[in-house]
Amino acid sequence: MEFKAQNIADFLGGRVEGDANIIVSDVAKIEEGKPGTLAFLSNPKYNKYLYETESSIVIVNDDFVAESEVKATLIRVPDAYKAFAMLLELYQQAKGNKSGIENPSFIDSTATLGNNIYVGAFAYIGKNVRIGNHVKIYPHVYVGDNTIIGDDSILFSGVKIYEDTKIGEACIIHAGAVIGSDGFGFAPKEDGTYQKIPQVGNVILEDLVEIGANTTIDCATMGSTIIRKGTKLDNLVQIAHNVEIGENTVMAALTGIAGSSKIGSNCRFGGQVGVAGHITIGDRVNVGAMSGVSRSIKSDNTVLLAPAMDIAQAARVTAVYRNLPQLRDQVLDLVKQVTQIKIKLEE
């Protein structure tokens, strides 16, 4: 698809500085720009690339002041980063504008399909499934019986949705994610073996949830594992049975949440965070990367390290870590001095 600079400016509510009729058909990083591409500049440390980029159009902030001649046509907007994000979303929608049902695919006769949906080849849609309008189901997706998928949701290739799952509107589930597999529930027996505890609950994803590639969300033992509206989970995240995650919480890759823990709204988790089972984390809690959370945390806190602790305490602990070699030398020196004093006292 091709767009003129003036069309882009009109869409963004910006103004053109340069050739309003110049055309672009792709996007690029400003440092890797080529003719016919659109780039953006918002971080001052990339300013130098503006004067050498080959991109035809660059989106910049209204208050940007050029220090020398710029070859590219500029589009000035209040916030270049947000404006470029809007264009990328529009570009992605145009690229992924698929519709129709490909063959071979299997759709049970009891399934209900909305308008303008896409079902890719080798997809499987089970009994009593309800699919909303404008849903896209890519090839090799499995949708189990009694699943509900809301309007405008996207399931990328290889996603597996177990039975009874409820997916809200405008959700995005990336390749390889598994939603609704059994929770890790086993009862130890006297002979040292384990008895599997049936997992009869389901998973609920509310509206605007995004699930990263190869992330897994277990169904509840009873009731529901719930991911609230607007939450975003990165790749390779594990959510165990009966967990509840509040609205607009984000979790980076390799985070693991153990069973029956409750996570509040607007929390932010760094990568490789581990959360123990049956604890509660309040709203607006920030958890630093590689932290291990073993106890409940009240709202409006930032914690670091393993075991996770308040950020002020973590700073003091980290300072001690850094000084351990020096502290060791000081302790050894003190031991030496005490030994010498004892020898003198015994003489």
Active site residues: 241
Q: How many CB atoms lie within 10 A of CB 38?
A: 26
List the Cα angle 121/122/123 in 5-degree steps.
95
DSSP codes, 134-202: T-EE-TT-EE-TT-EE-TT-EE-TT-EE-TT-EE-TT-EE-TT-EEEEPP--EEE-TTS-EEEPP---E
Kind and range of the H or E element at 325?
A: helix 311-346
- What is the rounded distance in angstroms from the CA atom of residue 225 to the CA atom of residue 207? 15
Q: Which two tokens stand for residue 330?
A: 């000081």
Q: Which two tokens stand for residue 57?
A: 């159009």
User: For the chain, what is the largest distance between any 2 Cα atoms, rounded to a whole number of angstroms?
Assistant: 100
Residue with tokens 């509900």: 148
* Residues 6+ positions from 234 with CB-CB distance below 8 Å: 212, 215, 250, 251, 252, 253, 255, 271
Bond preceding residue 104 cis, omega within 30 of 0: yes
- C-alpha gyration radius of the chain: 27
- What is the rounded distance in angstroms from the CA atom of residue 36 to the CA atom of residue 54? 9
Long-range contact list for 297-306, CB < 8 A, 24+ apart? Answer: 299/264, 306/274
* Residues 6+ positions from 197 with CB-CB distance below 8 Å: 185, 186, 187, 221
Helices 5-12, 80-95: crossing angle, 10 deg rounding:
110
For the chain, give the number of residues: 347
- What is the rounded distance in angstroms from the CA atom of residue 41 to the CA atom of residue 175? 31
